[in-house]
Amino acid sequence: MRKLFKATLLLLTAIQITSAQSVDYNSYNLMPWPKEINLGQAEFIVKEDFTVSIPKESTKRLRAAATRFLRRLSGRTGVFFEKGFPQQKENTPSLIINVKRRGKLAIEENESYTLNISVNNIMLESETDIGAIRGLETLLQLATPKKDHFYLPELVIRDSPRFPWRGLMIDVARHYQPIEVLKRNLDAMAAVKLNVFHWHLTDDQGFRIESKSHPKLHELGSDGQYYTQEEIKEIVQYAADRGIRVVPELDVPGHASAILTAYPELGSKKDTKYNIERYAGVFDPTLDPTNEKTYELLSDLFKEVASLFPDPYVHIGGDENEGKHWDENPEIMAFKKKHGFESNHDLQTYFNLRLQKILEKLDKKLVGWEEIMTPDMPTSAVIHSWRGVEEGLQPGESLIIAAKKGHYSILSTGYYIDRMHDIAHHYLVDPLPKSSDLTKEEQKKVLGGEVTMWGELVTPLTIDSRIWPRTAAIAERFWSPASVVDITHMRKRLSVISFRLEELGLTHLKNRNVILRNIANGYDIDALIKLAKVCQPLQKYSRNKGGTEYKSYSPFTLFADACTTDAPDAFKFDERVNTFVVNPKMSKKLLEPMLHQWVENHEGLLELNGKTPLVSELLELSSALKDISAFFLKVLKQEGVSKVDSNEFMKLMTKVKEPYADVEIVAYGTFMKLFTYLKKNEL
Amino acid sequence: MRKLFKATLLLLTAIQITSAQSVDYNSYNLMPWPKEINLGQAEFIVKEDFTVSIPKESTKRLRAAATRFLRRLSGRTGVFFEKGFPQQKENTPSLIINVKRRGKLAIEENESYTLNISVNNIMLESETDIGAIRGLETLLQLATPKKDHFYLPELVIRDSPRFPWRGLMIDVARHYQPIEVLKRNLDAMAAVKLNVFHWHLTDDQGFRIESKSHPKLHELGSDGQYYTQEEIKEIVQYAADRGIRVVPELDVPGHASAILTAYPELGSKKDTKYNIERYAGVFDPTLDPTNEKTYELLSDLFKEVASLFPDPYVHIGGDENEGKHWDENPEIMAFKKKHGFESNHDLQTYFNLRLQKILEKLDKKLVGWEEIMTPDMPTSAVIHSWRGVEEGLQPGESLIIAAKKGHYSILSTGYYIDRMHDIAHHYLVDPLPKSSDLTKEEQKKVLGGEVTMWGELVTPLTIDSRIWPRTAAIAERFWSPASVVDITHMRKRLSVISFRLEELGLTHLKNRNVILRNIANGYDIDALIKLAKVCQPLQKYSRNKGGTEYKSYSPFTLFADACTTDAPDAFKFDERVNTFVVNPKMSKKLLEPMLHQWVENHEGLLELNGKTPLVSELLELSSALKDISAFFLKVLKQEGVSKVDSNEFMKLMTKVKEPYADVEIVAYGTFMKLFTYLKKNEL
């Protein structure tokens, strides 16, 4: 390899990106960014004769991964490869994959790889086939177009993850997600080197596992929407083929409406008819921890789960049990007294410890949401930290406490993507911030983190657009060195990673227009697209509280479902305003087209209105955007802001701030910034 | 019901559509058009309190269908229904479904229904639950938006199908299609009242069924891409839930490369290593009809198939065996002589009759491509007519012969949608044209037709865009009265049906931009979209012969894959030219914007070129389009065509005619028409 520049990532900061080698590094949209990358100047050109060799004693997993790699590289480059399958006896292969052994799906497993691209060939070397699978994804991200060909840049990458537990949780209870949704998300997870799929399988709104020991569970608790055991095995295999562990969650003793719909006799409130819950929220139905039959059922169930999921970890939930039905039940109260339990928390500890024993017999370790961390809980239990400011706690507080106590722990606070925060918000949350005072030994207890996709407001149509692309950036947090924190660089890479995920069937980009076509009833959707690009769904959980209250069967085909976080035109406008306030004379003409567009767009929406009833509620948004845009156009033209304008502005901004149709205009802050500048500078 | 207008479909011709009631009929995008429709003037308004009642003794199938109906109606209208499930004891339901009995999945079954919509409620009545399922699709198509609400029009529909066998064949051998592809296509089939899914499961390029008796078949013959028996059962159940029969096809004795890859000893050419075929075409590997072991394997295999597929029919293929390997094998020649067979055709008849006996024992009836129709074949065999002009025969010839002989028959000639003909071409092909001289009894033998989706050039990314929306129009041919032939009316309705299919997850519209984003490597795709809208993939099979030769693992992510038949802008331009030649002065301004657009679009493509190698081969197309457009703009401006222009025109048109990148500009004929007019009229 010639002329290699050394520039390991630990040194790569925002400043260095703009330095001499910046052009090169900026050409490659790697995510997660590798631990160490040394870039050369030559190119390996992708041509018809491209071949891949795999070891003679290759695992089926590696062979399948190499075949998928060939399909994706061919599909992306349009090059017709002569050999469509990896070879085991190839004379001069283009890509040589060397692997020492089959990888285990375990926390301690080696996922590192080395990638060495030269003009004539590519070496991918790793201890395990899982490492090679990670490296193949890096290689695909490196395929770069020029005018006449795609090439892979000369380089050496030495890469390994910062955290061993890099997860995505998908809640399939609030809305069932068919296995093809899970499969494409597993593909996307593998593309960004995530390695744990946490499958939230039961909740008040549905019990989604076929139980052979207690079939009433899925028959009565799922509206017919559950995974057969064959399907579960298929997903576990599909994940394993991509080096992804699957951790199942059965959320108990709370969140139990669906279980109790099938087995009301195990509920803490007696003689009640339980029903599958249709709303979102925290509900009272809770398993009776004093009933031995509860443990009999759970014992049978965990036995089935243990045989379906080879992973050593099982998640028992354990969150948000407020114990209302326990307090109301005299027998449970008596039980507490008899056992000397002072609080419901003690009673839940008793319950958790019973479960812990059941799981121990099955050779499984327990994971639970942070509420399970009580003094008696053995440190073998993994603590899943989730509460934060909204729950009156410091974010990640429980993670630190758990590590100090000697528990393994994983962080989800800060990664609640269903709250619809923008990407920068999540990207900077670190499971092990520099500020933490953990010892080195304690730091090792922090296994990593999990993105949580709660399912109240998502269906198969929209779920991808909530998970992606933001989860790719969070995956970088879990994999890459802590020093990789340049938001501008991340955003630039993320925009490429995002559309590349489409090759795996992800629908986050393409389904927006599907929703808008439905709203427009087949008429032109341009005006809707333009409005959607500056709006976002209400953040946190205000979508489902403030205005509409959603049931599981409510329509999720609305304008809010077509909008995403990080609204692109709002972001673009903000960037332009930032340029403007630095150099108003030169960049005024950047602002005006966007403002004009928003003024004109209202006409387009008015035209649609009248053809379909789904547009009328958007007119308020669109008209607020039009009015404020017209205001700024007037001000920019007059080149001055009078006192009258100031009052007019505040009146208009009141309208801009107002949410409609469960969305809000994101540019509020930018408008404020622009106005403040204009007023101060009286241009 | 008040003021009903009687206008049964048999009377509804193009002329009547423009008559007094035309506005009403044109408001409803029904497809297939019902047998009889009587439209009123009132409206049933879709509101939150919408409820559905189903009979107390309802089938699970009907309950599930009614639930899906509620989800789709809610998703489409955005109305939050208070009750999300069908009720069995509802006081005043909005939609009352009355069904007499469970329907059987059989050719003779009653699929008729009556729909009666009044201001206050809706009655859907049918003999079978399958009829009700058909009626629910009609009802969904009737949901019509106004400014403030969706409504269902007051009407009475009495509907039943013209043909009992209305099929779609999907070839999953040339390219494997995951079950989610099949499921969404089954959903779409149900939406347009198709009732037979013909599953072409084996061919030279793959054996796609898990065989428990002969696992080598799927292990060695599928590259790991096959359906497990569980998945097959799942698809059969999914289809049954939508009133769709599943007819499996194992194509023998030709098309056997994949089978012989696993069992070379059953091949007609001995001591050969067979391989899964990667190219498209007709190949020589053929089962040995003289080897008893061939029948042993097929007997085991059909036994498995019989238990997986409850339908009474099994398709044995039987097409395109040219017998080359038979001719080359002296033992097979000796066998022929010994049995007194004069031709390979006789030998194949022997083979088919052996199969017929195997199937008979399994209580299955045989279907085969028309080549199986030999004198000795019992008339219980169904003849599948497929050959036409390309094969030197009259289209549908074998269908008529079969019916006269007493065979049931089905038509696929004319419905080969992989040939990429436009929709009008297929729409007018009738399984029972008026010109046929069949007796009434013989006519009953013509069961209907099947759309055939051969898989050489489609992947999960593109298959929907080849099947839909054209198959919806062919489905109308199979269901609706023969008199429904107005192409303009069909096109208008089809454009709505097409985007409505998106609610079932069909990808024919949304995947175009996925391909174009890949080609543009994330840059703006506007120029590519505009070019794609006037291009179509090469027709018939010239895409895979003339230029590129595709293997099964070649990339299908190319510009040709983003183009479809019935290129919308070519069609629009043609319509405008048709208007222009009638009224040139008034409508000249309709032509110019389109011509200007094509001129400017070339700039956009030039800008993309250089950023990605996948654009360069499109420049020839785009520049031809630009040049001819510029020519017409010049002529229209000068308002005259000189001799010089005429020569220039022909030169430019040579370029327009030339295919590039496996696509062609569709507007060729329109340009010619416009030029001829301009020249003749010397404006």
Stronger pLDDT, B452 or B376, i.e. the higher one: B452
- Substitution target from B499, B556, B617 for chain A, most A beta carbons within 10 A: B499
The CA-atom distances, in angstroms, between A361 and each of A245, A301, A525, B533 are: 21, 13, 58, 63
Distance from CA of B519 to the nearest CA of A (A): 8
The predicted pLDDT at position B640 comes to 65
**Do both A115 and A216 map to the same domain?**
no
The answer, yes or no, to whether residue B506 has pLDDT greater than 80, is yes
Residue B181 CA to its chain's centroid (Å): 14
Distance from CA of A604 to the nearest CA of B (A): 15
Backbone angles phi, psi at A566, to 5 degrees: 55, 45
Which chain A residue has its CA at the smallest distance from B459's CA?
A: A75
Q: Do B613 and A150 touch (CB under 8 A)?
A: yes
Task: Give the number of other CB atoms < 10 A from CB of residue A37.
Answer: 24
Q: Which residues of B touch A503 (CB under 8 A)?
A: 518, 557
The predicted pLDDT at position A607 comes to 94
- Residue B434's SS3 state is coil
Distance from CA of B392 to the nearest CA of A (A): 34
Task: Give the number of other CB atoms < 10 A from CB of residue A262.
Answer: 21
Residue B320 bears catalytic tag: yes
The predicted pLDDT at position A644 comes to 65
Distance from CA of A637 to the nearest CA of B (A): 31
> Is B115 part of a structural domain of the chain?
yes
**Residue of B495, B511, B558 lying closest to A78 (CB–CB):** B558
- When the pLDDT of each residue in chain B is averaged and rounded to a whole number, the result is 93
The DSSP H or E segment spanning A595 is helix A584-608
**Residue of A145, A511, A548 lying closest to B612 (CB–CB):** A145
The predicted pLDDT at position B6 comes to 41
Q: Do B522 and A81 touch (CB under 8 A)?
A: no
- Substitution target from A514, A611, A616 for chain B, most B beta carbons within 10 A: A514
Q: How far is residue B526's CA from residue A526's CA, in Å, rounded to a whole number?
A: 13
Backbone angles phi, psi at B554, to 5 degrees: -70, 160
Which chain B residue has its CA at the smallest distance from A524's CA?
A: B499
| pLDDT tens by residue, A505-554 | 999 999 999 999 999 999 999 999 999 999 999 998 788 765 678 999 99
Backbone angles phi, psi at A285, to 5 degrees: -55, 125
| pLDDT tens by residue, A72-115 | 999 999 999 999 999 998 889 999 999 999 999 999 999 999 99
Task: Give the number of other CB atoms < 10 A from CB of residue B180.
Answer: 17
**Do both A350 and A411 map to the same domain?**
yes
| Cβ atoms of residues B531 and B482 within 8 Å | no
Q: Which residues of A touch B510 (CB under 8 A)?
A: 507, 510-511, 513-514
Task: Give the number of other CB atoms < 10 A from CB of residue B82.
Answer: 11
Q: Do B552 and A71 touch (CB under 8 A)?
A: no
CA B203, B206, B211, B214 torsion: positive or negative?
positive
Q: Do A75 and B180 touch (CB under 8 A)?
A: no
Name the pLDDT band for B11 (thresholds 50, 70, 90).
very low
Q: Please list the alpha-helical segments (H only) found in A229-342.
A: 229-240, 257-262, 292-308, 324-327, 330-339
The predicted pLDDT at position B319 comes to 87
SS3 content of chain B, % helix, strand, coil (to 5): 45, 15, 40
Task: Give the number of other CB atoms < 10 A from CB of residue B647.
Answer: 10
Q: Do A77 and B556 touch (CB under 8 A)?
A: no
Q: Do B81 and A552 touch (CB under 8 A)?
A: no
Report the CATH number that the domain containing residue B17 is assigned in CATH: 3.30.379.10
The predicted pLDDT at position A643 comes to 64
- Residue A38's SS3 state is strand
Of A8-22, A576-590, B67-81, B261-275, the range with the lowest mean pLDDT is A8-22
Q: Do A613 and B514 touch (CB under 8 A)?
A: no
Q: Which residues of A touch B521 (CB under 8 A)?
A: 145
Q: Which residues of A touch B552 (CB under 8 A)?
A: 84
**Do both A153 and A214 map to the same domain?**
no
| Burial zone of A480 (CB within 10 Å; 0-12 exposed, 13-18 middle, 19+ buried) | buried
Q: How far is residue A279's CA from residue B256's CA, in Å, rounded to a whole number?
A: 55
**Do both A9 and A115 map to the same domain?**
yes
Q: Do A555 and B495 touch (CB under 8 A)?
A: no
| pLDDT tens by residue, B130-148 | 999 999 999 999 999 999 9
The CA-atom distances, in angstroms, between A323 and each of A147, A254, A263, A288, A297 are: 65, 8, 19, 10, 21
Q: Do A77 and B613 touch (CB under 8 A)?
A: yes
Catalytic residue chosen out of the listed positions B43, B219, B231, B320: B320
Residue B172 token pair:
């999953």
Q: Do B224 and A64 touch (CB under 8 A)?
A: yes
Return the number of CB contacts < 8 Å for A and B: 147
Q: Which residues of A touch B71 (CB under 8 A)?
A: 553
The predicted pLDDT at position B21 comes to 45
**Residue of B64, B74, B517 lying closest to A555 (CB–CB):** B74
- Substitution target from B46, B179, B510 for chain A, most A beta carbons within 10 A: B510
**Do both A179 and A325 map to the same domain?**
yes
Q: Which residues of B touch A611 (CB under 8 A)?
A: 145, 147
The predicted pLDDT at position B5 comes to 40
- Residue B105's SS3 state is coil
**Residue of A67, A519, A613 lying closest to B150 (CB–CB):** A613
Whose structure tokens read 């960037």? A575
**Residue of A67, A223, A510 lying closest to B513 (CB–CB):** A510
The answer, yes or no, to whether residue B515 has pLDDT greater than 80, is yes
| Burial zone of B426 (CB within 10 Å; 0-12 exposed, 13-18 middle, 19+ buried) | buried
What mean pLDDT is predicted for residues B95-108?
A: 97
Domain boundary residue among A446, A476, A503? Answer: A503
> What percent of chain B has a predicted confidence (pLDDT) above 70?
95
**Residue of B522, B554, B557 lying closest to A499 (CB–CB):** B522
**Do both A28 and A101 map to the same domain?**
yes
**Do both A283 and A426 map to the same domain?**
yes
Catalytic residue chosen out of the listed positions A90, A234, A320, A592: A320
Distance from CA of A403 to the nearest CA of B (A): 43
Q: Please list the alpha-helical segments (H only) found in B446-509.
A: 463-467, 470-479, 487-500
**Which residues lie closer than 8 Å to B634 by C-beta, 6 or more apart?**
none
**Do both B145 and B169 map to the same domain?**
no
Residue B607 token pair:
């800008």
- First-to-final CA distance of chain B: 56
Residue A237 token pair:
């295999």
Q: How far is residue B457's CA from residue B540's CA, in Å, rounded to a whole number?
A: 12
Residue A237 CA to its chain's centroid (Å): 21
Q: How far is residue B279's CA from residue B204's CA, in Å, rounded to a whole number?
A: 9
Domain that holds residue A41: 5-159
Distance from CA of B21 to the nearest CA of A (A): 21
Rg (CA), chain B: 27
**Do both A495 and A519 map to the same domain?**
no
CA A475, A477, A480, A484 torsion: positive or negative?
positive
Q: What single letter denotes the amino acid at residue A214? A: H
- Substitution target from B557, B618, B619 for chain A, most A beta carbons within 10 A: B557
Q: What single letter denotes the amino acid at residue B445? A: K
- Substitution target from B612, B618, B663 for chain A, most A beta carbons within 10 A: B612
Which chain A residue has its CA at the smallest distance from B505's CA?
A: A461
Q: Do A552 and B84 touch (CB under 8 A)?
A: yes
The answer, yes or no, to whether residue B13 has pLDDT greater than 50, is no
Q: E strands, A136-190, where? A: 144-145, 150-159, 165-171
| Burial zone of B651 (CB within 10 Å; 0-12 exposed, 13-18 middle, 19+ buried) | exposed
Domain boundary residue among A467, A486, A503? Answer: A503
**Do both A433 and A527 map to the same domain?**
no
Name the pLDDT band for B1 (thresholds 50, 70, 90).
very low
Q: How far is residue B497's CA from residue B141's CA, in Å, rounded to a whole number?
A: 8
**Do both B308 and B390 map to the same domain?**
yes
The CA-atom distances, in angstroms, between B9 and each of A249, A260, B13, B132 are: 56, 53, 8, 21
The predicted pLDDT at position B436 comes to 85
Of A577-591, B255-269, B407-421, the range with the lowest mean pLDDT is A577-591
**Residue of B84, B500, B613 lying closest to A147 (CB–CB):** B613
Q: Do A613 and B149 touch (CB under 8 A)?
A: yes
Q: Which residues of B touch A500 (CB under 8 A)?
A: 522
The predicted pLDDT at position B10 comes to 37
Distance from CA of A377 to the nearest CA of B (A): 42
With CA atoms as reference, report the closest residue to A632 among A598, A659, A601.
A598
The predicted pLDDT at position A547 comes to 61
Distance from CA of A179 to the nearest CA of B (A): 9
| Cβ atoms of residues A258 and A277 within 8 Å | yes
The predicted pLDDT at position B394 comes to 85
With CA atoms as reference, report the closest residue to B285 among B265, B310, B260, B312.
B260
Q: Which residues of A touch B502 (CB under 8 A)?
A: 514, 517-518
Domain boundary residue among B471, B500, B529? Answer: B500
Which chain A residue has its CA at the smallest distance from B144's CA?
A: A612
Report the CATH number that the domain containing residue A319 is assigned in CATH: 3.20.20.80
**Do both A336 and A443 map to the same domain?**
yes
Q: E strands, B183-323, where? A: 196-200, 202-203, 206-207, 245-252, 313-317
Residue B440 token pair:
């009434």
Q: For chain A, list residues with pLDDT below 70.
A: 1-24, 545-547, 639-644, 682-683
Backbone angles phi, psi at A353, to 5 degrees: -70, -35
- Residue B415's SS3 state is coil
> Is B505 part of a structural domain of the chain?
no
Which chain A residue has its CA at the smallest distance from B554's CA?
A: A80
Which chain B residue has its CA at the smallest distance from A179's CA?
A: B180
Q: Which residues of B touch A555 (CB under 8 A)?
A: 74-75, 77-80
Rg (CA), chain A: 27
Which residues are registered as beta bridge partners of A368? A383
DSSP class of residue B85 equals S
Q: Please list the alpha-helical segments (H only) found in B363-451.
A: 397-405, 423-427, 440-445
Number of domains in chain B: 3
> Is B387 part of a structural domain of the chain?
yes
Q: How far is residue A123's CA from residue A126's CA, in Å, rounded to a whole number?
A: 10
∠ CA A484-A485-A491 to the nearest 5 degrees?
105
Distance from CA of A497 to the nearest CA of B (A): 10
SS3 content of chain A, % helix, strand, coil (to 5): 45, 15, 40
Whose structure tokens read 């052994």? A101
The CA-atom distances, in angstroms, between B447 and each of B246, B290, B394 are: 16, 34, 19
